[in-house]
Amino acid sequence: MRMEERISRRGFLKCATAFWSLFGGRLFAVPSGWRPTKTANLVFGVVSDTHLRTTVKGTYSTGYWADRWFVAALKDFREQNVDAVVHLGDMAHTGQVEEMEFHRTAWDKVFPGDLAPGGRKVERLFVAGNHDIDGSTYGIGELVKKIHPDPEIRRQHLLCTDIASHWERIWGEKYEPVWHRVLKGYHFFGRHYAGKNFREDEAKVTALVKTIDAASALAKNKNPFFILSHIRSHAIFNKAMRDYPNAVSFFGHWHASAANWNVIHTWGSSPSIQCPSCAPMGTNSLSPNSCRWATAPFIGADTAGKNRQGYIVRLYDEMMVINRREFGQGGSLGADWMMPLGQYAPHPFAPLELKKVIGEPQFRPGAKLCVETPDPQSLRIQIPLADGNPDSRVFAYEVTVAAEGNSLRQFIYAAGCNLGTGREQNGGVTEFTIPKTDLPPSEKWTVSVRPASSLGTFGKSLAYAKEGE
């Protein structure tokens, strides 16, 4: 509903209040009121793209490129009593041996001897990424050349020179291009990055599929099994997986934020879930390219240096639960992703099924949209955090300025949507300025703001109108 307020040219702050009925939040398509009745059968953490780097002298960095965010993730996993940790690659930013050794040091800080407190073993399920072993691109970069100008000495410091021996020495396990492990009855298949032509290399994909086919009972099992890689799966592999709707793939590489539910893809008949970055640069992109519901460009991208993300996955008899974590300041990114087991037609992670359960973000009753004119050339809008529906976190706001048949429409990311709930900067208030030159040429116009989820479900609008004087 709309309330009109007069906006003076002197820049007085005016507000409008939305009145709406808050509907109950909706959860995933799971049994009503479902809660775990026992501890999880298996718990594992997922990180990717840590990108540790040496200093310009080739030594450990205590500043920007330090391992503290990887350590923070591991500590978070330890507190959640994980049975295993998945790393989806790009540990070494410039492909140097020392950079992967930094990860081993970080691991031993949290899980010395691969043990959690009390002596329980924590498994490592790691795969290499392109930054780790594509020496032709990263290992001869300007940084590495500066550190090791002699080509022969430089080769000795590059993982790609002999990734198998370096991997075995650092991690104490054999380097296998494709591997298979079983933890508490759940199957994991990993494939290391295999070079720039992997997408077209049918032989390598076939090797992975044969490894999965060897465990033929998986196709008849309601329990999920997991495929881990740095680069996402491609058409050849997706086609082969049509007989395995219980397969769940995790991949990294893209540095896209898990605040955006579009990182769950259903290529073929099973989901591929992109894991965001835990890198020291902390850039988890909020690219609008995967938000096809948006009818105008996004502004105000919240990507700068404050967010390091990953997952904690819990497996129960009847459910898989994925908790999206932020390791920089802590907390969850919103409602858990919950996948009922054995219900794969349609798949609960298919886009249309996800859209049914994401709900609509809503402003709280009495929330106020505030507008001011700080100068004659601009209009400033302050949007309160749309946290009235706790089951549907706001991702962006659709802002429309309309006048006499003309309109300006923009989408702006919700402040702090890349951070844990309750940890948004400025209390979650989103503020931005529109130049008067962008507004419809009129002395009378209306502004409305709708909160949106990352899948394009919309809540009720806040609105106000400016009348000519």
Contact 307, 282 (CB under 8 A): yes
pLDDT exceeds cutoff 50 at 10: no
Q: Domains plus CATH for the chain?
A: 14-25+361-466 (2.60.40.10), 42-357 (3.60.21.10)
Share of the chain above pLDDT 70, in %: 86
- 7-11, 290-294, 300-304, 331-335: lowest mean pLDDT where? 7-11
- Which band of pLDDT confidence, cut at 50, 70 and 90, is reported for residue 208? confident
Q: What is the pLDDT of residues 348-387, one digit of tens each?
A: 999 999 999 999 999 999 999 988 877 777 888 999 999 9
Contact 54, 61 (CB under 8 A): yes
Distances 29 to 34, 88, 359 between C-alpha atoms, Å = 10, 29, 12
pLDDT exceeds cutoff 60 at 460: yes
pLDDT exceeds cutoff 90 at 4: no
- Which band of pLDDT confidence, cut at 50, 70 and 90, is reported for residue 438? confident
3-state secondary structure the chain: CCCCCCCCCCCCCEEEECCCCCCCCCCCCCCCCCCCCCCCCEEEEEECCCCECCCCCCCCCCCCCCCHHHHHHHHHHHHCCCCEEEECCCCECCCEHHHHHHHHHHHHHHCHHHECCCCCECEEEECCCHHHHCHHHHHCCHHHHHHCCCHHHHHHCEHHHCHHHHHHHHHCCCCCCEEEEEECCEEEEEECCCCCCHHHCHHHHHHHHHHHHHCHHHHHCCCCEEEEECCCCCHHHHHHHHHCCCEEEEECCCCECCCCHHHEECCCCCCEEECCCCCCCCCCECCHHHCCCCCCCEECCCCCCCCCEEEEEEECCCEEEEEEEECCCCCECCCCEEEECCCCCCCCCCHHHHHHHCCCCCCCCCCEEEEEEEECCEEEEEECCCCCCCCCCCCEEEEEEEECCEEEEEEEECCCCCCCCCCCHHHHCEEEEEEHHHCCCCCCEEEEEEEECCCCCECCCEEEEECCC
Between residues 4 and 118, the one the model is more confident about: 118
Cα–Cα distance, 414 to 390 (Å, whole number): 15
Q: What is the pLDDT of residues 109-168, one digit of tens each?
A: 999 999 999 999 999 999 999 999 887 777 778 889 999 999 999 999 999 999 999 999
Contact 468, 4 (CB under 8 A): no
Cα–Cα distance, 208 to 408 (Å, whole number): 50
Cα–Cα distance, 24 to 364 (Å, whole number): 13
List beta partners, residue 249.
Answer: 227, 272
Cα–Cα distance, 315 to 6 (Å, whole number): 55
Report the interhelical angle of 68-79 vs 97-110 (nearest 10°): 30
pLDDT exceeds cutoff 70 at 45: yes
Cα–Cα distance, 421 to 414 (Å, whole number): 12
